[in-house]
Amino acid sequence: MADRYLNFTGTGAGRFLTSRLGLPQPVPLKRYSDSKPDLGGPLLHLTAGGSALADPLEEVLRRTGLPVQAEAERPAAVVLDATGVRDVAALAEVHAALHPVVRSVAASGRIVVLGSVPDPEDHHQAAAQQGLEGFVRSLGKESGRGRTVTLVRTGSAAAAESTLRFLLTPKSAYVSGQVIEVSGAGAAEVTAPASWARPLEGRTALVTGAARGIGLAVAETLARDGAKVVLLDVPGAQADLVKAADRLGGSALPLDITAEDAGEHIAGALPEGLDILIHNAGITRDRKLANMPAERWASVLEVNLASVLRTTDHLLKAGTLGRGARIVATASIAGVAGNVGQTNYAASKAGIIGLVRSLAPRALAEHGVTVNAVAPGFIETKMTAAVPLMIREAGRRMNSMAQGGLPVDVAETIAWFANPASGAVNGQVVRVCGQSLLGA
């Protein structure tokens, strides 16, 4: 369903009226396309408090394709290296670096702050680095005009390259106010793809719930990036599933993911193994707890959480997911902040977050597999189009972008997790919510 308010604010009368009334003024976000693959402007590289990176950052930034400059009147992106900030005094350098340039960043531009992991042995450094999180989340909420602001904690520019490439392109249009930790030592293997344009070439990806909506967008994006996609959905969606698989040059796997032996069926269908497992299948059965019968509770927990646990356990144990594989599950901001009428759904999605935090270090140590999750906010789908008007409008406006996201926004984030160069990204839950005002 078209966002008529967004379209209206793009007109002269709309801008005038909404400005006079103090209403949100969203701008259309620039998203990735083959004809416009980058942000279309220079990248401003700044430093505050010195750098604690183990390797040169500028070299990695130049590989993103944006012209890197020490000064720029209208930068499309700003990267501030604040990894060396160790005390409160050094935080003043963060202000000094960004204060003169923040207003000049182009619409739909990017501000990426690089920080270090807070040191439990140095409470001054930990306080200063944690301060960057509050700074970034606040700056994201005040930047406006489709700009995004993100904090990346890392000690290695090379390990963070796939993350920087994602954040410094239109692919990250609906990801803002997030804190992403990129490991160095102990991370999975980081393998630069032969082609950054098709980084998933030669890899096989399974996407559940892939017949429509977000799942279909994920399959399309992974196929665009070179993956051989296997689309899984319930047998009742077989016609749509086969049609989509044929269009993407992939294969269809009609299967009830809640079946006890679903993992065995998947392993049998993929005798050569699986490189990327995307848990996207999910349902809602909304009702306030006092009015929720047990079957509505059970069905949501079964599809959204129990099936994810069972199939993941089986595919890891069977060796279907080998070293270098990627598991990405779908959580939700409802699992972060809760939502009225969704105790079942929020429990299931919070459970996904718990799964990621617990399994990620063990799956990496035992199998060489990374485990991450996306947590979508208000995404424009057929499901949200059926939401009552006022609730739908609130969902669209209550984020820093003042608009809903698109299925492709979730898909692009999943594709970044799936990249072979993202081996240092593990145990992360990244909200694709335009920095929702709920839980963000």
Annotated catalytic residues are 345
Cα Rg of the chain (Å, integer): 21
Question: Which position has the token pair 């399959």?
Answer: 219
Residues 6+ apart with CB under 8 A from 206: 229, 230, 232, 253, 266, 270, 274, 276, 277, 278
> Please, what is the angle between helix 343-367 and helix 294-301, to 10°?
30
Q: Rounded distance, CA 225 to CA 227, Å?
A: 6
Question: Which position has the token pair 């809640």?
Answer: 258
User: Which amino acid is residue 20, in one-letter code?
Assistant: R
Q: Three-class SS of residue 46? A: strand
Question: Which position has the token pair 């720029």?
Answer: 72
Are 333 and 438 contacting, i.e. CB atoms less than 8 angstroms apart?
yes
Strands 274-279 and 251-254: unpaired
User: Which amino acid is residue 200, in one-letter code?
Assistant: L
Q: Which residues pair with 432 in a beta bridge?
A: 376
Torsion of CA 23, 436, 232, 188, to 10 degrees: 140
Are 362 and 385 contacting, i.e. CB atoms less than 8 angstroms apart?
no
Q: What are the residue ranges of helices labelled H in 318-423?
A: 333-337, 343-367, 382-385, 389-397, 407-418
Q: Which residues pair with 272 in a beta bridge?
A: none
Token code pair at residue 303? 């599809």
Q: Which residues pair with 68 in a beta bridge?
A: 43
Q: Three-class SS of residue 434? A: coil
Strands 228-233 and 251-254: parallel
